[in-house]
Amino acid sequence: MASLVDELVSVLTEEEKLYSALLECAEKKTQILIDADVPALEQLTAIEQEKSDELLSLGNKQIQLLTDIKTVLGKADEELTVTTLIGYLNAQPEVQEKLSTARNNLLDTATRVQQKNQQNEILLKQAIELAEFDITLFKSLRQAPETANYNNKAYSTGALLGGSGFDAKQ
């Protein structure tokens, strides 16, 4: 069982390294969003996708290791998480400490990535709102203003002035 726990610690450590790489990407993304550099954003998104695929693979490996540990412990009928496993390792304090440290580092880094991604999400929403505002502004520049014509019930008819050149007669 000690080898399974050691392997679990190494998987958690690898996951933490990948989350650190994702944190770096998220920090770069913030500046890319500010600069509105679409090609750089595409490249960074591809890198993030690769890291996410690796994280998925490691997550599956972690689940398999926890299943194996659960079988060894004879706890096949209950759900085993890293936190509950730490609780079961009271008799092995140094293994418990390694596993606890790996879990805490992973949780800390994942939380920082989540916070940075939330900031980037806000930046993206603001960029989209700005683009929509620009589009609306450009559309309104090409549209003629409404006339002040009213119908017999005192409602505006919504008629538009001609939008082409001069209306001068010769």
pLDDT in the model for residue 164: 52
Nearest to 106 by CA among 152, 166, 58, 143: 58
Q: Is the pLDDT of residue 167 over 70?
A: no
pLDDT in the model for residue 44: 94
Provide the mean pLDDT of the chain: 85
pLDDT, tens digit (0-9, with 9 covering 90-100), for 9-38: 999 999 999 999 999 999 999 999 888 888
pLDDT, tens digit (0-9, with 9 covering 90-100), for 143-163: 655 566 667 776 666 655 555
Domain ranges of the chain: 2-142
Q: Is the pLDDT of residue 92 over 90?
A: no
pLDDT in the model for residue 10: 94
pLDDT, tens digit (0-9, with 9 covering 90-100), for 109-144: 999 999 999 999 999 999 889 889 888 888 777 665
pLDDT in the model for residue 87: 87
Where residue 105 falls among pLDDT bands split at 50, 70, 90? very high
**Adjacent-strand bridge partners of 146:** 160
- Classify domain 2-142 at the CATH class level: mainly alpha
